[in-house]
């Protein structure tokens, strides 16, 4: 099954897993260097990318990679590897920029890691390109992708504004979705993607 994955999705999965294992083996040295830190509090430009390839624990990487596997494969086959890679990178960068803005506005010095910003961009694209595809809420309740992703986005906004689940970068998730929306609108304006 793994060899049948499109190349960019397969590469992202392998890189994330390899870096997770290497980070654990080195006593979190990669996280110390690559986590996204607030401006003026240890921020380095490479962190705009590296944070998205680092994960806190097994559950963190499992759920992100599961979503990448599920949605990335379909999107890469639909868009092509090059366009998919550009899209994913744009979502990662938009998530980082959004998170940095929120950290600056709140004065927080929390660091951010994880592929969730890119993954949320993939969720948005899946809902746009495959709106009627059924997804299972809580692995039991079927609903169309557009509704699932809309509800998930509203939940992320609620959790971010209320500060619940403070250890989760909800605004980075939303930033990934916003970055994805901007790319899709750009593609649509240029007639690069039809849906």
* pLDDT tens figures, 64-120: 999 999 999 999 999 999 999 999 999 999 999 999 999 999 988 899 999 999 999
The vertex-81 CA angle with 79 and 87, nearest 5°, equals 65
* pLDDT tens figures, 17-37: 999 999 999 999 999 999 999
Give me the domains of the chain, ranges plus CATH numbers.
2-188 (1.20.1540.10)
Pairing of the two strands 134-137 and 141-144 = antiparallel
Mean pLDDT of the chain: 92
Look at residue 1 in the predicted model and tell me its pLDDT: 44
Look at residue 80 in the predicted model and tell me its pLDDT: 94
The CA-atom distances, in angstroms, between 164 and each of 59, 153, 156, 161, 179 are 19, 15, 10, 8, 24
Q: Is the pLDDT of residue 44 over 90?
A: yes
Confidence of residue 165 (pLDDT cuts 50, 70, 90): confident
What contacts 24+ positions apart, CB below 8 Å, involve 74-78? 74/126, 74/130, 75/122, 75/125, 75/126, 75/129, 76/6, 76/7, 76/8, 76/9, 77/6, 78/129, 78/130
If you ran DSSP here, which 8-state letter would residue 192 be given? -
Please state which of the ranges 72-76, 122-126, 148-152, 162-166 shows the lowest mean pLDDT: 162-166
State the DSSP string of 128-177. HHSTT-EEEETTTEEEEHHHHHHHHHHHHHHHHHHT-STTS-HHHHHHHH
| Residue partners of 130: CB distance under 8 A and separation at least 6 | 74, 78, 145
Confidence of residue 193 (pLDDT cuts 50, 70, 90): low
Confidence of residue 138 (pLDDT cuts 50, 70, 90): low
Look at residue 139 in the predicted model and tell me its pLDDT: 64
Look at residue 134 in the predicted model and tell me its pLDDT: 87
Look at residue 4 in the predicted model and tell me its pLDDT: 82
Q: Which of 122, 120, 138 is nearest to 130 (CA)?
A: 122
Rounded-to-integer distance, Cα 85 and Cα 11, Å: 10
> In the predicted model, what is the mean pLDDT of residues 130-146?
83
- Could you give the angle at which helices 7-25 and 81-106 cross, rounded to 10 degrees? 40
> In the predicted model, what is the mean pLDDT of residues 52-67?
95
Confidence of residue 195 (pLDDT cuts 50, 70, 90): low
């Amino acid at each position: 099954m793994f060899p049948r994955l499109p190349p960019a999705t397969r590469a992202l999965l392998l890189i994330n897993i390899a870096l997770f294992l290497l980070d654990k083996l080195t006593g979190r040295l990669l996280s110390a260097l690559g986590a996204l830190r607030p401006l003026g509090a240890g921020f380095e430009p490479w962190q705009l990318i590296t944070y998205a390839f680092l994960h806190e624990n097994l559950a963190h990487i499992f759920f992100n990679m599961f979503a990448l596997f599920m949605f990335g494969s379909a999107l890469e086959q639909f868009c092509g590897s090059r366009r998919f890679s550009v899209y994913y990178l744009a979502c990662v960068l938009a998530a980082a920029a959004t998170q940095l803005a929120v950290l600056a506005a709140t004065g927080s010095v929390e660091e951010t890691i994880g592929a969730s910003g890119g993954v949320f961009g993939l969720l948005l694209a899946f809902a746009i390109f495959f709106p009627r595809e059924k997804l299972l809420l809580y692995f039991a309740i079927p609903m169309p992708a557009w509704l699932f992703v809309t509800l998930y986005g509203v939940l992320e906004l609620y959790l971010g504004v209320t500060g619940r689940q403070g250890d989760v970068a909800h605004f980075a998730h939303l930033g990934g979705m916003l970055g994805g929306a901007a790319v899709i609108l750009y593609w649509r304006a240029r007639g690069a993607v039809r849906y």
